[in-house]
Structure 1
Amino acid sequence: MSIKILMYATAVCPYCVRAEALLRRKGVTEIEKIRIDLDPAQRDHMMAITGLRTVPQIFIGGTHVGGCDDLYALDHAGKLDTLLAGS
């Protein structure tokens, strides 16, 4: 897959691990992770662009998907594959 996946995450977040596992099962091989636990300025940036404080915050091809539950809901609704395909 060539669509860009960006995930704001922390090292010990179980929701981050779960979201990444779903993306990997969907064939995603590259996820750009921004570790907000290592760089507090990145948390501030994440909050500024999403309005949210929790991780993960996932962007697929520039579209803000939301967190882990949002990602799974998108998959359950049958829309994740389309988004990952860039359509």
Structure 2
Amino acid sequence: MNEHTKTSFDPHYWEKCFVFTCRKGQCPFVKLCFRAQKDHENEMKKFIGSLNKKITEGFDLTNLSPTDKGNLFHLIKKHGLKLTCES
């Protein structure tokens, strides 16, 4: 798999994206890479906030949609999951 088809959002990917594309004079692509990373981070923050709200309201997490379950698995596997439950 080459660097332009990798779909992971890990920091090493973004560093490689920046180095390989800027050396070739393709810095606008780098801006798209970092924008995509920021969008992904914002989506995950919103998702975590949504889960926190559901937990505090007594929502059963086993009833999550398939998309939300996928996002939850991604957060647990890649980033660690930090949910809070304040009463």
TM (normalized to structure 2)? 0.29
Q: Between the two structures, name the one with larger relative contact order (CA 8 Å, sep ≥ 6).
A: 1
Q: Which has the larger radius of gyration?
A: 2
